[in-house]
Amino acid sequence: MAKKQQIQTLDYFKKHAGEWKEKAASDSERRFNVIKYRNQYVLDVVASRAATRSVLDVGCGTGDLVCDIAGMGIPATGLDFSDEMIDLAQKEASQRNLPTADFICQSIFDYDFSSNTFDVIAANGFIEYISYDERDRFFELAYQGLNPGGSLVVGSRNRLFNLFSLNSYTEKEISQGTAAQLLAEAVAIAAAPDITQLADLETAPLQPMDTEHTDTGIGVTTRYQYTPVQLMRLLNARGFSVRQIFPVHIHGVNPAFKGLHPEVHFSIAMLLQDYGYDHPSLIPYSSTFMVHAFRE
Ligand SMILES: C[S@@+](CC[C@H](N)C(=O)[O-])C[C@H]1O[C@@H](n2cnc3c(N)ncnc32)[C@H](O)[C@@H]1O
């Protein structure tokens, strides 16, 4: 029986599929396209691997990533529980004439991995919409569903960004007494030669279950955030080894200034994005981060 968070998520993404498609395709110079850069990171992972014969995109939305991968000649499957999202994804694949793009309308928690395994499993903008139990289950399923040597790529809202957003998220960390622990993690990341070695660092506890987030622009009240260390630890505990953490949507200004001058924020964010690979010290300033974990 699905819980309130997943019921709200399904309801939202059934009603807003068309809007999501526009967001994914947007090249406005007033809005940094997070979807595009998350997808680009997955494409970079695929390109960096010796061989990728199959990809699964969990919570594929309007299917842009699946279509880009199928366009590289790699069979790619998109799975999403919103039939409106899947309809748009299928239309895109047939318009682009991509016979190796395949879409399934189903919850990941009902998908049968016993007869399907993949070299890469991606999940962008997905783990924020599932409970902690479901997240653990998802990591277990992904482990089973990956071939040995397979890559799991997960995008996450970045809780460390709460330190620099200077808004109600920051106030919440201060009132919960977690700001100092988050700051210590940010400092350690900025100084670390290899942040994948930081999984044992002392950091803040996970956000309280069913925590409510306002003003996220999405009508789902609980959208969890994680820190890089928290996610590394959770993945390590499920048998993965984390290869890389990559910042997406790096902020040079806080969201209040961004609201007043979106074009200034956009220019800075675009400029900084190019430095993402070589400067993990930018991670605390990014509102999203990507994790590339490996199944040995
Ligand atoms: C924020 S959208 C991201 C879409 C796409 N990955 C992207 O980056 O553009 C999250 C998607 O996850 C899907 N989703 C959420 N929970 C799911 C579940 N349990 N099984 C399958 N899809 C799910 C939603 O329907 C929605 O399309």
pLDDT in tens, the chain (296 residues): 678 999 999 999 999 999 999 999 998 888 999 999 999 999 999 999 999 999 999 999 999 999 999 999 999 999 999 999 999 999 999 999 999 999 999 999 999 999 899 999 999 999 999 999 999 999 999 999 999 999 999 999 999 999 999 999 999 999 999 999 999 999 999 999 999 999 999 999 999 998 888 778 888 999 999 999 999 999 999 999 999 999 999 999 999 999 999 999 999 999 999 999 999 999 999 999 999 999 98
Tell me which of 10, 80, 218, 220 to substitute to probe ligand 1's pocket, judged by most ligand atoms within 8 Å of the beta carbon: 80
| C-alpha distance from residue 71 to each of 35, 40, 142 (Å) | 18, 14, 24
The residue whose CA is least distant from atom 19 of ligand 1 is 107
**What's the CATH code of the domain at 148?**
3.40.50.150
The predicted pLDDT at position 38 comes to 98
Is the full-model pTM beyond 0.85?
A: yes
The residue whose CA is least distant from atom 12 of ligand 1 is 59
Amino acid at 46: V
Name the residue range of residue 63's domain: 4-294
Q: 91 CA distance to ligand 1 centroid (A)?
A: 17
Q: Ligand 1: does its nearest atom lie under 6 Å from the Cβ of 89?
A: no
Strand order in 55-58's β-sheet?
101-105, 76-80, 55-58, 118-123, 146-157, 286-294, 241-250
Tell me which of 6, 9, 92 to substitute to probe ligand 1's pocket, judged by most ligand atoms within 8 Å of the beta carbon: 9
Q: 56 CA distance to ligand 1 centroid (A)?
A: 13
The predicted pLDDT at position 227 comes to 98
Count how many domains the chain has: 1
